Structure 1
């Protein structure tokens, strides 16, 4: 999972979604819910990164401007923790808080076109 900490890295991630699926995880190191979601995401990355899905990580406290820029660019309300699945430069699925679970993401990543 590649850390996204600049506007340029954010643009690259969105652009990469035109070539394949990109998953962006917005994580707060200060939030216990986010810590739990991070553990779920580690499992997802271990399984799906080798299958060619790209993963990006935004630390929302340290890079709040990037997190808010992502919300503005994609028209999705900012939440943390939050996962966004991108294809073709658009959000095709997103979820936050306790809904960030391995089994849910597994279904999304194996069934979406």
Structure 2
């Protein structure tokens, strides 16, 4: 396909690719102690936890679409990334502390120490992030 693009577009194809600016800054969730920090932070702002399975095709597609939801307006949202395969004990504790049944992928929104919203699978891609700014 690349050769046809060069032939018919009149371009050499050596134009620099534009890098997409991302406004999502993942914070790794790797210790149980961070859950207390998340609760504390959630007293003044919404905190998001994204639970991701690196072996799940749906989770891989959803995380890519989730990242595309972020605009400059959302750049200050704190989003914790939880690798379910490496930190299953933390995932279990997230479910227990925030009273949300485990799903994968899953997004929790924490405000004032409790989960005020959660979504799983493709429902994550339908979330209006502006609600949580």
TM-score, normalised relative to structure 1? 0.85
Residue deviations 1:35-58, cap 9 Å, x none?
0111022223454552x2111010
Is the 8 Å Cα contact of residues 46 and 132 (structure 2) preserved in structure 1? no
- Whether 1:42 and 2:67 are equivalent positions in the alignment is yes
1:88-103 to 2 correspondences below 5 Å: 88-101=112-125
Alignment RMSD, CA only?
1.8
Q: Using a 3 Å threshold, how does the CA distance of structure 1 residues 72 and 37 change in structure 2: closer, same or farther? A: same
Partners in 2 of 1:84 and 1:27 — Cα distance? 12
Counterpart check, 1:67 vs 2:87: no
Partner of 2:130: 110
| CA shift in 2, pair 1:48/1:75, >3 Å | farther
For structure 2, list consecutive stretches of 5 or more residues without a partner in the other structure. 1-25
CA distance in 2, matches of 1:70, 1:9: 11
Partner of 2:16: none
Choose between structure 1 and 2 for higher RCO, CA contacts under 8 A separated by at least 6 residues.
1
Superposition TM-score, scaled by structure 2 size: 0.74
More helix, by proportion: 1
Q: What are structure 1's unaligned runs of at least 5 residues? A: none
Alignment of 1:13-28 (within 5 A): 13-28=38-53
